[in-house]
Amino acid sequence: EDKKAEEKKEEEKPKAPELPPMGEEEMELLSMFLSQTSDLERKQQVERIIKYRLNPFEVLQLSPDCATAEELNMAYRKLSLVVHPDKCKHSRAEEAFEICKKSLAELQSEEKKGFYVDVMVSAKEEAVRELKKKRKREKEESSKNKKLRVSDVDKLRSTMLGGTLKRPSKDKKKEEDKGEEFGKAAADDEEPISQEDQDMIVKGTRDAAFRILLQLEKRRARAEKVFVENEKRSKVAMKEAKEKYLHEEKQDEEWNKDRTDRIDSWRDFQQHGKKLGIKKPKPAVTEKGVSVLPPTMGG
């Protein structure tokens, strides 16, 4: 069983992907890239790949909306050469190299790629929602602080001038500023996302995708564990049932054999017992004086 498990593991191990030959320009770019890659960068890449091993887009550092076949192949070539066990001294370089091969194979499969694209879309939506909540909290906090500052100014004016300047009522102010507020709201919606927000969305998407895939992996592992345990229990139950069946069958055979022997003995007695001078036993007398013969076989 251990041998079969090892063979199955070898079969599931990702094979070296078949990539189209590189042109001279690609070769020059790769050579330049590798010459500028330090040992520290190689080790950092190994650790990054192992951390995000569940997300092939993150492993190969590709965006789902621009991962063409050419970009995919180039990203794999760069990364696989950086973490190749022959070139990288990290103790887990081989593991990172295998993860790169697996990531490429998964993104070359349309079905698997579609699954990871869906995960990334959900992760980005979650990141955008969280960013909007954060910005809303910041605006509310800023507005609250502004109101406090206005209140402080009113108090200062009252102290210095002996009274307060009446401000427009809230309802009147709302009416006057309605158009202005509407335009401001529209402008806020159409306001381009800043570089800071874009960076936060990228990081939030990465973290959300990591969390989603980790949860899915834990569920898969639990389901696999339950399946293996159920299969193991099923095998044990089948083994016990088989042993019970064989034991009962053996008992039946022994009982039938004894029964045959008893019948044969009785027949021999019937045929040869009188000739050998065997006498019937005397009647037994009970306390009441009733004579009865002891039971005989077949009688």
Please write the tens of the pLDDT for every residue from 139-160: 888 777 766 565 666 666 666 6
Q: Is 267 within a domain?
A: no
- CATH number of the domain residue 26 falls in: 1.10.287.110
Q: What are residue 190's DSSP bridge partners?
A: none
On the CB side of 270, CA atoms within 13 Å amount to: 10
Residues comprising the chain, all counted: 299
* Helix axes 69-82 and 39-51, enclosed angle (nearest 10): 120
The reply to whether 228 falls in a domain is no
Q: Is residue 18 part of a domain?
A: yes
For the stretch 271-297, pLDDT in tens is 776 555 556 556 555 555 555 555 555
pTM: 0.57
Helix or strand holding residue 291 (H, E): strand 291-292
> Could you give the CA distance from residue 68 to residue 49 in angstroms, rounded to a whole number?
20
Whether residue 82 lies inside any domain: the answer is yes
Is 229 part of any domain? no
181 part of a folded domain:
no
What total of structural domains would you count in the chain? 1
Number of alpha carbons in the 13 Å side-chain half-sphere of residue 184:
5
The boundaries of the domain holding residue 34 are: 11-108
CA distance 226 to 90: 35
The CA–CA distances, whole Å, from 252 to 81, 187, 232 equal 70, 91, 30
40 belongs to a structural domain:
yes
The Cα 103–Cα 54 span in angstroms is 9
Give the model's confidence band at 185: pLDDT under 50 very low, under 70 low, under 90 confident, else very high.
very low
Q: What 3-state class would DSSP assign to 103?
A: helix
pLDDT at 217: 93
* Cβ 100 vs Cβ 79: under 8 Å: yes
pLDDT (tens digit, 9 = 90+) per residue, 200-216? 999 999 999 999 999 99
Comparison of pLDDT for 50 and 27, the residue scoring more: 50
Q: Within a domain: residue 56?
A: yes
